Structure 1
């Protein structure tokens, strides 16, 4: 058995790993490189003739975005994923094809039909069998990772009984919408992400109060509040919190009348993803299910307006630019690297009444990174923009486990691992995390992407 890394050995995008078993291999994720890590790399630059199957940890584009190129390179195997990831994958890939390759709807439909014909959806916590061409039997199991809907860490049991675990992206503990990841019991070899291996986050418990405070302070001054957010994961967490703020608001005692503020979800993809979150409410936390049982609609409340047509989007951008009327706009992409949020930024960043709330990780080389770090002159749609808007940053919406959560996950493993591969992190994050791993698992061999 050999572990190979074709992406995210260093850095945080382009996840793609391989477990090689004799003459055959299983691929875990096939993601797109983003930001400074992209360098135009889309083609598959490693041998795939021996790859028997592709296993997906979740549907974020930095974990699935190169699947079209994998198929074009001749991959003919099955694609295994959790049930929710299997539902989200065609939506995410179709959106990527429109943006990356300019595919029209018919071309996207043809491609997604091909992907669906290869997809094998596996329920959480159920073992599935893969028989390699050599006759070797491998078992796989997807277990909740808490990162986004459908996200999983994957347990792979080899014919020898050895267990290899790929963490994918692990989510933080104690989020209100999705259940926490539970550590595997027995692991021989662990491949684990380290996005925030050097950071401890605070704020999940009070993120809703912080969001309310920022929005109210912003709305008193008038103008639009822009929240760049990934279509899957962060958008749904935001809607969940905003609905709770509205439900708890008392008009008489509030500085702002929350009952009248339009909440605009300007992303057709986010609308489709949110519908899938509602379809898979059996994966929600107890708290989230209770809200639904009370007759509330945490992800489809009456003030939430979804914009689908591009013409409606453009009309709304122009209207808000002229009127400056109060509204909360949630739009992709989360790193402001494309999508409809860019048009809002171009139109509204020069207006001092505008507020932008940055809630997630911003990769190097993205517009979101520039805004996050307070640049006041930026380039948007090839135009130089003087930023007069107020930029806010807040914690609590990270979809990634922090250092404490990662250590809790590894520390919860009752037996093993003998070897830990630290991946999916910048150098500082990987090395800091590796040092702490050695303390809690002193018998393990720790390998980083920088070893």
Structure 2
């Protein structure tokens, strides 16, 4: 595979071209600079790095978050969605002097202030007044757009650039970006698509993404480029079976989950299991009166926002609401708000035989309240950890996932904790498209791209996806250059 060298040879490149400032050595830190002219560029996402992942040049990572590239040419930031690995470095971007518009979808514009406030309080300083001022400052530049609507960003005699947001099916408000770039004087144009994070088909709350009509270049995520997800019916049945088996131990099932998207999807599935079991035989069901505990203040806030964003739900979810059901606010759902309540809940569940399901963050176990649950419960075989999302290299989640079944240990806050709790991984609950979905996104276009740049994935995932993409494109009689950028 050819390596991308645009960052070091920008003066020799023809325009447009793309520089990658993140998501090239793993799945986090998404940040791509689309150069339109030597003086004009767009930034697509500006996310946090997690675990051991870094930027292509290695100068930015989880412990080195300052923006290392010049932003003088950047005319706008375009956010594909509000996950922290896509917009979490915005505080550092603003600190570098960024004052340009921030474009996103309407739902993302409603969700983003809460994400940014948390990113500021966790990553910069625990000062609520200062965080509020930062969010207000960003809010002045935040512009929400409808899906499918073309938005003109630059219009001059020598350059016209417009973008369009299309549903990505990853979380509420997520989008892939179509960029149309026209050079009137040169009588040429290019269409470039940035996939952002594409969702899996048949996600319970969101419509599945549809491929664009066409593109010249696609920057494609590859998180699960070497995996196939089980179908929704199978994964639901497996999810229920795993939980019922775990609950029979009389312990707690800990589900680490990100605050936006995954948490709401899990609540939606749990409400359906409870409702279905109640119709069969409520009194004999292990789900009768089982507490579902949401111990994540940020996730609780986002769940409330999700309820306000029903116009963007899938038809299936809206149908449940019309039937009088509450997919995100059912009777057995308990929320834990304060730190004192959290400590009391951890102590109670660790020392009683009351079965419970706890959804808490962070999703990769590298911060947040999940760490306290793990410290208290990993050493007890009654308890269980169920992973439903990707665990990046270098995170405690990856270590538990990898070494837990072997009876190993994990380091939490510098101390070793033996893993005696059962560990399960349910890959079918990923909010990312699998290999089939990613390939379909490319081959499903009427006008296929000449170039696909694979980012946002482990090396093995990118390599296998590249091979399959090449083969499937050849079957359609298309020639495509697959590039795996290194910086």
Distance of 2:483 and 2:409 partners within structure 1: 41
More divergent stretch after superposition (179-188 vs 382-391): 382-391
Distance of 2:155 and 2:51 partners within structure 1: 36
What residue in structure 2 maps to residue 163 of structure 1? Answer: 191
More divergent stretch after superposition (253-262 vs 285-294): 253-262
Classify 1:373/1:158 alpha carbon distance in 2 versus 1 (closer, same or farther; 3 Å): same
Q: CA deviation at 1:322?
A: 2.3
Distance of 2:132 and 2:413 partners within structure 1: 29
Secondary structure in 1 aligned to 2:52? helix
What residue in structure 2 maps to residue 289 of structure 1? Answer: 318
Match of 1:11 among 11, 23, 26: 26
Classify 1:384/1:134 alpha carbon distance in 2 versus 1 (closer, same or farther; 3 Å): farther
Correspondence 1:54 to 2:86: no
Distance of 1:339 and 1:39 partners within structure 2: 16
Contact 1:13–1:31 under 8 Å retained in 2: yes
Distance of 1:220 and 1:422 partners within structure 2: 43
Secondary structure in 2 aligned to 1:121? strand
Distance of 1:438 and 1:218 partners within structure 2: 42
What residue in structure 2 maps to residue 444 of structure 1? Answer: 480
Correspondence 1:248 to 2:276: yes
Correspondence 1:142 to 2:142: no
Match of 2:41 among 25, 50, 53: 25
Secondary structure in 2 aligned to 1:260? coil
Contact 1:216–1:256 under 8 Å retained in 2: no
Secondary structure in 1 aligned to 2:293? strand
Match of 1:275 among 277, 283, 304: 304
The answer for unaligned runs of 5 or more in structure 1 is none
What residue in structure 1 maps to residue 13 of structure 2? Answer: none
Distance of 2:481 and 2:401 partners within structure 1: 37
Distance of 1:39 and 1:393 partners within structure 2: 25
Q: CA deviation at 1:254?
A: 7.1
What residue in structure 2 maps to residue 123 of structure 1? Answer: 146
More divergent stretch after superposition (246-255 vs 106-115): 246-255
Distance of 1:89 and 1:71 partners within structure 2: 15
What residue in structure 2 maps to residue 327 of structure 1? Answer: 356
Q: CA deviation at 1:134?
A: 7.9
Q: CA deviation at 1:421?
A: 1.4
**Residue by residue, what CA displacement relative to the aligned partner does 1:97-136 show, whole Å, maximum 9, x if unpaired?**
2222232221211111111111000111111111268873
Classify 1:96/1:134 alpha carbon distance in 2 versus 1 (closer, same or farther; 3 Å): farther
State how 1:338-377 maps to structure 2 within 5 Å. 338-375=367-404, 376-377=408-409
Match of 2:418 among 386, 402, 421: 386
Normalised to the residue count of structure 2, the TM-score between the two structures is 0.89
State how 1:74-153 maps to structure 2 within 5 Å. 74-131=97-154, 136-153=159-176
Correspondence 1:188 to 2:220: no
More divergent stretch after superposition (215-224 vs 258-267): 215-224
Correspondence 1:435 to 2:467: yes
Q: CA deviation at 1:428?
A: 1.7
Distance of 1:10 and 1:198 partners within structure 2: 16
Match of 2:253 among 225, 236, 243: 225
Normalised to the residue count of structure 1, the TM-score between the two structures is 0.96
Distance of 1:417 and 1:358 partners within structure 2: 35
Contact 2:146–2:165 under 8 Å retained in 1: yes
What residue in structure 2 maps to residue 417 of structure 1? Answer: 449
What residue in structure 2 maps to residue 214 of structure 1? Answer: 242
Q: How many residues align?
A: 451
Q: CA deviation at 1:192?
A: 0.8
Distance of 2:201 and 2:123 partners within structure 1: 34
